[in-house]
Amino acid sequence: MKVINVVGARPNFMKIAPIHNLMLKSDKITPVLVHTGQHYDEKMSKVFFEDLRMPMPDIYLNVGSGSHAVQTAKIMVEFEKVILEEKPDMVLVVGDVNSTVACTLVVVKMGVKCVHVEAGLRSFDRRMPEEINRLMTDVVSDYLFVSEESGLVNLKNEGIADDKVFHVGNVMIDSLVNHCASADESDILKKLDVEKEGFCLVTLHRPSNVDALEGVMELVETLIEISKKTKVVFPIHPRTLQNFSTFGILSGFSNSPNIILTEPLGYLDFIKLMKECKFLLTDSGGIQEETTFLGKPCLTLRENTERPSTVTEGTNILIKSLNKVNILKHTDDIILGRTKKGTIPKLWDGKAAFRIVEILENLYNMNLNRENCG
């Protein structure tokens, strides 16, 4: 059975790697790796193939950046050609980025089976482009692999048939488990001149946090305040860097020696920083899950989360009101040792990809039997 695995943006790589690498060992599945090129910078893409020990893509679509419509449309046009040429039995997409929904729409209309990994997550906030991508992808996919129990409930409520849905666990945690030991070898702490538990790690890239000057100013002032109490390591996403430089606020950091700005980091360096920091401030999706697995305090600068188990079970706290006073209240708690303890959600055990590949192999056998009987 030929399966095309799709990657496009940074958070896709660590989700596809464990699946693709297992498929390469399967005698029933021939995987083909397609990279849409949604993320193209070396630091947002290539470094992850090396760190995750994943083969380079078999096919690269090179679509690049653009408005949502332009980016989604370009991916669709290019991906349709791939499907016509490769004639896969199945296409597997992960997560909620524009590449996910674009490739899904192409394949379901061409009658090819589509598998969505990390299905069922919902923020119930349709202002987020990712929420639209999640809804669209799930409603038309043939098989839905779910990472946490809320996903099962959401899909049921949306009327998705039970026999399409499989609770397999979290492939992002598979990658974390697989690469924790290699991450320990990273010398990033030395490079950045920070010590274990002696810094806060920050990532920000959501349009809702970094696209408007007023909100950005409040966040920057907050980071400067935090840096008076502990070092702040801030790997800057390209979107955030662009906006900071347009707003002319990058120089604002130069008087704050405790704020360490870096380029986006590789996977192993970033895991090392997550493991060794005192706490994280983020608006990312996946980092909420990784910190829950690592038992690390995580303050998420968002009104909502599509990953509620990280709050109900894990170490994640949603900071809904993004004013300086409120954020500082939460960071002070952590600095003073008042941290939230958590547990690890069900099936976040490093074996999700194994379950996925096993289910796909069984589906393939069932289809083969059906064809032979017919």
The answer to the question of residue 65 lying near ligand UD1 (CB under 6 A) is: yes
In the region spanning residues 5 to 24, those forming contacts with ligand UD1, defined by CB under 6 A, are: 9-11
Least distance (Å) from ligand UD1 to the CB of residue 209? Answer: 11
| Euclidean distance between CA atoms 353 and 234, whole angstroms | 31
Nearer to ligand UD1, 72 or 227 (CB): 72
Three-class SS of 45-57? CHHHHHHCCCCCC
The answer to the question of residue 36 lying near ligand UD1 (CB under 6 A) is: no
Cβ-proximal residues to 242 (8 Å cutoff; 6+ apart), any chain? none
Choose among 58, 63, 73, 56: nearest CA to 3.
58
The answer to the question of residue 48 lying near ligand UD1 (CB under 6 A) is: no
- Among the listed ranges 26-34, 213-221, 235-243, 271-279, the one in contact with ligand UD1 (CB under 6 A) is 235-243
The answer to the question of residue 62 lying near ligand UD1 (CB under 6 A) is: no
| Euclidean distance between CA atoms 251 and 271, whole angstroms | 28
Per the CB < 8 A criterion, the answer to whether 234 and 280 are in contact is no
The answer to the question of residue 116 lying near ligand UD1 (CB under 6 A) is: no
| Euclidean distance between CA atoms 243 and 115, whole angstroms | 35
Beta-bridge partners for 280: 201, 298
Least distance (Å) from ligand UD1 to the CB of residue 34? Answer: 16
- Tokens encoding 191: 């490079």
- Tokens encoding 215: 């909100």
Least distance (Å) from ligand UD1 to the CB of residue 333? Answer: 27
Catalytic entry in 35, 39, 116, 205: 205
The CA R_g of the chain, rounded to the nearest whole Å, is: 21
Least distance (Å) from ligand UD1 to the CB of residue 205? Answer: 5
The answer to the question of residue 97 lying near ligand UD1 (CB under 6 A) is: yes
In the region spanning residues 319 to 348, those forming contacts with ligand UD1, defined by CB under 6 A, are: none
The answer to the question of residue 263 lying near ligand UD1 (CB under 6 A) is: no
The answer to the question of residue 136 lying near ligand UD1 (CB under 6 A) is: no
In the region spanning residues 269 to 288, those forming contacts with ligand UD1, defined by CB under 6 A, are: 285
Per the CB < 8 A criterion, the answer to whether 315 and 341 are in contact is yes
Count of residues that bind ligand UD1 according to CB under 6 A: 20
The answer to the question of residue 135 lying near ligand UD1 (CB under 6 A) is: no
**Angle between helices 267-276 and 286-294 in degrees, nearest 10:** 50
The answer to the question of residue 295 lying near ligand UD1 (CB under 6 A) is: no
Per the CB < 8 A criterion, the answer to whether 200 and 277 are in contact is yes
In the set 239, 340, 346, 351, which binds ligand UD1 (CB under 6 A)? 239
- Tokens encoding 214: 């007023």
- Among the listed ranges 90-98, 163-171, 227-235, 354-362, the one in contact with ligand UD1 (CB under 6 A) is 90-98
| Euclidean distance between CA atoms 90 and 113, whole angstroms | 5
Least distance (Å) from ligand UD1 to the CB of residue 323? Answer: 24
Cβ-proximal residues to 366 (8 Å cutoff; 6+ apart), any chain? none
Helix (H) or strand (E) holding 217: helix 213-226
179 given a catalytic annotation: no
- Among the listed ranges 92-100, 136-144, 211-219, 248-256, the one in contact with ligand UD1 (CB under 6 A) is 92-100
Which residues are known to be catalytic?
205
Where on the chain is the footprint of ligand UD1 (CB under 6 A)?
A: 9-11, 38-41, 44, 65, 96-98, 129-130, 205, 237-239, 242, 285
